[in-house]
């Protein structure tokens, strides 16, 4: 069946810009966690009750997790209102605003005056630019350049027509008219590198797989996103599944594969359901199947749900898992491009990498390479989380500095000082505040002792203990180690023992040396990427925060006030303004005093829960060494 792009596009535009009022709710997992479902149901009920002639639609995630649930209201031809932190109580006000054509100002995040379709460059202008703040000028969105997440939060992920209306499947049509070599050349020129963590040039990977002899080949989408704090792949799958399908089909054509497999973690039920629906619609409309666009090329995509192990994100373990074996890495070489799934040449890229393919094919490799730094091209999606004002998914050009990401977009860390940012998940490292002007790209992050990884960014303020942070990540990797190779299994276990000892104040200085040597040996000797990078959190914190380790060992003192046995809290009289907020939050009634007078903290009642520490805006709560 020949896909009918123009009629789909027409249908999609009608759905995107209907001639009646359209209310859209961001119903991806992040929205749901903040109560988007209740808001959606309340909207449906309210619309029904009042007999309103308007559409209540679904979309993915706009990236601004801090402000979820997000609701958009669009009058035909008018700017779109975007409301943040919408609760069911606000729904009535919004509906009344729709009826009276006088929208409430409460929780109005901004207005959208223009939609730009990245693929085609077309702009949809919505006139009436009144004095309202534009969403695009919100500091959170202003520096962002959306390529991989271009459709997230704009289209209904369950509608292939809306995807087509935003330039979807044009790239596939274009690619199928080219030779596979031309496509690989385009991807090479774009400088796109693997967004899953390895950072290997995608074009080169495709080239290896294409040149690998064999009639049967596979492409795989790695959707086993597992880094703590990273969720960009989920957002893309839930918000714009077709871009992944389109990217994979182009990749399949380029390397000569006819089957694609999406290995999606089972903990993402919404993503799996969204993908299933998207595959169905793509098949029905002739974007997947036999003889796509009359090119003679056939391609099908299957979903395999993950088996719940972090290590299955490692490509050889992922392949083993698809084959029904234990999710365990095996040595490379042979690389999957030579001998992969079922022993056939296989190309694996992660979700974000695939999502970048359609724009690269449509707009050209040069366009993509025009963004970013010398060796890291294009944009990257980061999951900005932790002690930061604006949590969310941000997509910025490579080379954007940490300062821009954390302060301009993220809005900073509030009254408490920024201490470090952990990038790249459990395989990554901690970058200290002194490197705040570091341009973020593959090379710079590696040089700083961290990695790009999948793009997790956990921001930490002055109250984070770096030894404890290292311990958190080692706990994670030792739990997720498959246990096959000795250095990873036993090494991470022993690293955790040592870190526990340090955090409990029971370690001596030789333990620190042992920890470092052990970390270096694991890094060198482990079998797979998980083991080789498992010591990174330890090595990077040792590099930048060694004095904190030493304080734990020599002085038996945790200067950040995290390791419970190694600190006490006290109120500095000169800093205390007597506001009493600390006393309000103290669960032990350990803090007493009178307003406008310095408060006092009773050490015997204090359980060091840190509630006061995190509450005091005047930084009057001090961390001091414990009395012996």
Partner 1 sequence: MNLTIDGKTVPVIDETTVLEVAQREGIWIPTFCHHPGLPPYGACRLCVVEVKAGGRPGLAASCTLPVADGLVIETNSPRVQRSRRILLQLLLAVTPGSAVVKELAEKMGVNTTPFEINEQENHCALCGLCVRVCNQVGAHAIGFAFRGTRRRVTPPFGKPAADCVGCRACASVCPTGDVKFTEKGDRLFGENWGADLSLARCSSCGRLFTTEYLFNHVKTKLGPDYSAAKLCPTCRRRSTANVMTGSYLGKVR
Q: Using CB under 8 A, count the residues that bind partner 1.
A: 34
Q: Which of 138, 21, 42 is nearest to 86 (CA)?
A: 42
Of the candidates 51, 131, 333, 587, which one interacts with partner 1 according to CB under 8 A? 333
- Verify binding: residue 482, partner 1, rule CB under 8 A: yes
Binding region for partner 1 (CB under 8 A) out of 110-118, 245-253, 492-500, 562-570: 492-500
- Verify binding: residue 506, partner 1, rule CB under 8 A: no
Nearer to partner 1, 444 or 480 (CB): 480
Binding region for partner 1 (CB under 8 A) out of 67-75, 103-111, 370-378, 474-482: 474-482
Q: Using CB under 8 A as the criterion, what x/- string covers residues 510-529 for binding partner 1? A: x---x--xx-xxx-xxxx--
| Pair of tokens at residue 464 | 């984070």
3-state secondary structure of 331: coil
- Verify binding: residue 478, partner 1, rule CB under 8 A: yes
3-state secondary structure of 56: strand
Q: Which of 437, 353, 348 is nearest to 399 (CA)?
A: 437
Of the candidates 267, 490, 550, 568, which one interacts with partner 1 according to CB under 8 A? 490
As a dihedral over the C-alpha atoms of residue 613, residue 614, residue 618, residue 622, rounded to 10 degrees, the angle is: 20
Q: Which of 494, 490, 478, 472 is nearest to 563 (CA)?
A: 472
- Verify binding: residue 487, partner 1, rule CB under 8 A: yes
3-state secondary structure of 321: helix
3-state secondary structure of 587: coil
| Pair of tokens at residue 148 | 């991989």
- Distance in Å, CB of 540 to partner 1, minimum: 19
- Verify binding: residue 309, partner 1, rule CB under 8 A: yes
- Verify binding: residue 486, partner 1, rule CB under 8 A: yes
452-475 burial, b if ≥16 CB within 10 A, otherwise e? bbbbbbbbbbbbbbbbbbbbbbbb
- Verify binding: residue 196, partner 1, rule CB under 8 A: no
Q: Which of 378, 535, 365 is nearest to 441 (CA)?
A: 378
| Pair of tokens at residue 21 | 């009022």
> Cα–Cα distance between 372 and 612 in angstroms, integer?
43
Binding region for partner 1 (CB under 8 A) out of 35-43, 70-78, 403-411, 491-499: 491-499
- Verify binding: residue 73, partner 1, rule CB under 8 A: no
- Verify binding: residue 295, partner 1, rule CB under 8 A: no
DSSP 8-class letter at 209: H
Nearer to partner 1, 238 or 516 (CB): 516
Nearer to partner 1, 18 or 334 (CB): 334
> Cα–Cα distance between 432 and 448 in angstroms, integer?
9
- Distance in Å, CB of 151 to partner 1, minimum: 37
- Verify binding: residue 331, partner 1, rule CB under 8 A: yes
Nearer to partner 1, 432 or 491 (CB): 491
**Residues engaged in binding partner 1 (CB under 8 A):** 309, 311, 326, 330-331, 333-334, 478-487, 489-491, 493-494, 497, 510, 514, 517-518, 520-522, 524-527
């Amino acid at each position: 069946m020949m896909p009918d792009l123009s009629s789909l596009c027409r249908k999609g535009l009608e759905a995107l810009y209907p001639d009646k009022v359209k209310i859209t709710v961001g119903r991806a997992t992040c929205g749901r966690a903040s109560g988007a479902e209740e808001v959606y149901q309340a909207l449906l009920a309210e619309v029904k009750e009042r007999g309103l002639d308007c559409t209540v639609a679904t979309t993915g995630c706009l990236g601004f997790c801090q402000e979820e649930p997000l609701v958009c209201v669009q009058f035909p031809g008018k700017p779109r209102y975007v409301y943040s932190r919408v609760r069911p109580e606000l729904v009535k006000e919004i509906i009344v605003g729709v009826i009276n054509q006088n929208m409430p100002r409460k929780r109005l995040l901004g207005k959208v005056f223009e939609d730009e379709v990245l693929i085609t460059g077309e702009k949809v202008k919505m006139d009436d630019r009144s004095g309202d703040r534009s969403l695009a000028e919100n500091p959170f969105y202003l520096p962002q350049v959306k390529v991989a997440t271009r459709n997230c939060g704009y289209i209904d992920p369950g509608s292939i027509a809306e995807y087509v209306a935003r330039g979807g499947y044009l790239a596939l049509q274009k690619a199928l008219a080219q030779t596979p070599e031309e496509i690989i050349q385009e991807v090479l020129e774009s400088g796109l590198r693997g967004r899953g963590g390895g950072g290997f040039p995608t074009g080169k990977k495709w080239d290896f797989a294409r040149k690998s002899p064999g009639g049967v080949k596979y492409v795989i989408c790695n959707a086993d996103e597992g880094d703590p704090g990273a969720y960009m792949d989920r957002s893309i799958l839930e918000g714009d599944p077709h871009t992944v399908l389109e990217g994979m089909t182009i990749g399949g054509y380029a390397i000569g594969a006819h089957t694609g497999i999406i290995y999606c973690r089972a903990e993402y039920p919404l993503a799996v359901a969204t993908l299933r629906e998207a595959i169905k619609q793509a098949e029905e409309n002739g974007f997947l199947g036999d003889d796509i666009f009359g090119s003679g090329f056939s391609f099908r995509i299957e979903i395999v749900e993950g088996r719940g192990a972090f290590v299955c994100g490692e490509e050889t373990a992922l392949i083993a898992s698809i084959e029904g074996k234990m999710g365990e890495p095996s040595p490379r070489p042979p690389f999957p491009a030579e001998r992969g799934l079922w022993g056939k040449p296989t190309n694996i890229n992660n979700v974000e990498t695939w999502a970048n393919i359609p724009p690269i094919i449509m707009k050209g490799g040069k366009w993509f390479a025009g963004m970013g730094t010398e060796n890291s091209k294009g944009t990257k999606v980061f999951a900005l989380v932790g002690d930061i004002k604006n949590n969310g998914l941000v997509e910025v050009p490579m080379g954007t500095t940490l300062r821009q990401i954390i302060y301009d977009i993220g809005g900073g860390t509030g009254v408490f000082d920024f201490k470090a940012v952990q990038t790249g998940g459990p395989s990554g490292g901690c970058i200290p505040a002194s490197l705040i002007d570091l341009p973020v790209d593959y090379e710079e992050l590696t040089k700083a002792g961290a990695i790009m990884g999948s793009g997790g960014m956990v921001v930490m303020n002055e109250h984070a203990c770096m030894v404890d942070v290292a311990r958190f990540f080692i706990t994670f990797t030792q739990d997720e180690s498959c246990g096959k190779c000795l250095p990873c299994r036993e090494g991470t276990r022993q690293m955790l023992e040592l870190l526990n000892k340090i955090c409990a104040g029971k370690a001596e200085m030789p333990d620190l040396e042992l920890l470092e040597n052990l970390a270096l040996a694991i890094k060198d000797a482990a079998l797979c990427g998980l083991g080789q990078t498992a010591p990174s959190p330890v090595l990077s914190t040792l590099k930048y925060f060694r004095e904190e380790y030493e304080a734990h060992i020599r002085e038996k003192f945790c200067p950040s006030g995290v390791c419970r046995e190694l600190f006490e809290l006290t109120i500095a009289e000169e800093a205390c303004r007597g506001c009493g907020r600390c006393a309000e939050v103290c669960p032990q009634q350990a803090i007493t005093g009178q307003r406008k007078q310095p408060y006092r903290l009773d050490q015997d009642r204090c359980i060091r829960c840190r509630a006061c520490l995190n509450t005091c805006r005047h930084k009057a709560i001090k961390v001091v060494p414990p009395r012996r």
